[in-house]
C-alpha cells in the first residue's frame, strides 16, 4: 500500500501480515539503494522506493528493500509456514534467467538523458557503466573536453550538466551562435551528453556547395546550420520530412 494509506490498515491485519509500503523520493532514475528515503518509517517489512530503477542498466524496474533474512523472505514469498528455520535455509534457490544486456541501447538512453548524470547515472548502470560509457564516448567523439573531430570538421565538446551554448563558447572559444549540433534545434535547449561543434575553418567543398546549398552531416540541426551561415532558419528548404526539427544526414538543403 502507498505510504499515505497505511493508516487505513486495521490493527488485526497489521498483527498478522507484513506491511509492504510504497513511497518514492522522486521519479528520477536510480539504482539499488541500501537506505532509501523514509524507509522503515511505518514499521514496514519491505519498502518499494522506485518504479524507475535500473540494475546493470536494465529497467525501468520497481526496486524494493526487504528488511528480513533469506528464510523470512522465502516464508513470505512461498507461503511456507511449516518448515523449520534450518530447512528453509537449505531450500534450493531457483536460478534467475538474465538476458544479455543491450549495451548499445543503454548508450542511446544515456545520450537521451534517461539515466541522469554523474553518480545517478553510475548507480543506475551499475556493472554496465564502463562498457556503456565507452560506447557513448565513441559515439560522441571522445570525453567531455574539447577535441578536433573529423566528422564535424571543427572543435567539438560533449555538453555537461548545466551547460549553455554561452558557457561552452566562453570555455572553448567563439560566440554562442557558432556552436551547432544540438538535437533540439533550439539554441536555448541543449542536453547533457550530446556533442556540439564550432566550425573553425573553411567549409569543406565535399559537403558545401556555392549558391546557398549544404549537405546535412550527422549531428546537424536546421537552427545550427542557419546560425552558421547567418540565414533565416525558415528560408532553408529541402528537408524531406517537412519538419524543420527533423533533418537527415546526406540530404541537400538550399536557400
List, for residues 42-70, the tens digit of each pLDDT value: 889 899 999 988 887 888 899 999 988 87
Residue 22 has pLDDT above 90, yes or no: yes
pLDDT grade for 145, boundaries at 50, 70 and 90: very low
Domain ranges of the chain: 3-89, 141-254
Tell me the average pLDDT across 169-174.
81
User: What is the grid cell recorded at 220?
Assistant: 546537424
pLDDT reported for residue 177? 76
CA distance 247 to 108: 19
User: What is the grid cell recorded at 118?
Assistant: 554523474
Residue 147 has pLDDT above 60, yes or no: no
pLDDT reported for residue 49? 94
CA distance 220 to 114: 22
On whether the CB atoms of residues 56 and 101 are closer than 8 A, the answer is: yes
Residue 94 has pLDDT above 70, yes or no: no
pLDDT reported for residue 199? 67
Residue 151 has pLDDT above 50, yes or no: no
pLDDT reported for residue 91? 52
pLDDT reported for residue 99? 57
- Contact partners, residue 116, CB within 8 Å, separation at least 6: 28, 29, 124
Residue 98 has pLDDT above 60, yes or no: no
State percent of the chain over pLDDT 90: 8
Amino acid at each position: 500500500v502507498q505510504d499515505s494509506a497505511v493508516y487505513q490498515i486495521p490493527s488485526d491485519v497489521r498483527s498478522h501480515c507484513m506491511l509492504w509500503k510504497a513511497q518514492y523520493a522522486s521519479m528520477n532514475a536510480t539504482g539499488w539503494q541500501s537506505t532509501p528515503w523514509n524507509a522503515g518509517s511505518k514499521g514496514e517489512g519491505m519498502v518499494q522506493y522506485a518504479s524507475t530503477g535500473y540494475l546493470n542498466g536494465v529497467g525501468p524496474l520497481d526496486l524494493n528493500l526487504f528488511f528480513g533474512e533469506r528464510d523470512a523472505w522465502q516464508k513470505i514469498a512461498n507461503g511456507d509456514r511449516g518448515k523449520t528455520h534450518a530447512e528453509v535455509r537449505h531450500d534450493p534457490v531457483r536460478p534467475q534467467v538474465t538476458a544479455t544486456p543491450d549495451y548499445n541501447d543503454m548508450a542511446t538512453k544515456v545520450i537521451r538523458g534517461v539515466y541522469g548524470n554523474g553518480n545517478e547515472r553510475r548507480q543506475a548502470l551499475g556493472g554496465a557503466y564502463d562498457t556503456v560509457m565507452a560506447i557513448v564516448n565513441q559515439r560522441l567523439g571522445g570525453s567531455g573536453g574539447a577535441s578536433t573531430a573529423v566528422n564535424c570538421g571543427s572543435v567539438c565538446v560533449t555538453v555537461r550538466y548545466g551547460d549553455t551554448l554561452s558557457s561552452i563558447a566562453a570555455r572553448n572559444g567563439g560566440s554562442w551562435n557558432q556552436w551547432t549540433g544540438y538535437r533540439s534545434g533550439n539554441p536555448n535547449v541543449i542536453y547533457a551528453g550530446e556533442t556540439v561543434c564550432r566550425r573553425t575553418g573553411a567549409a569543406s567543398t565535399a559537403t558545401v556547395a556555392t549558391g546557398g546549398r549544404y549537405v546535412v552531416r550527422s549531428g546537424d540541426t536546421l537552427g545550427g546550420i542557419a546560425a552558421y551561415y547567418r540565414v533565416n532558419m525558415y528560408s532553408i528548404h529541402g528537408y524531406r520530412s517537412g519538419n524543420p526539427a527533423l533533418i537527415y544526414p546526406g540530404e541537400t538543403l538550399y536557400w
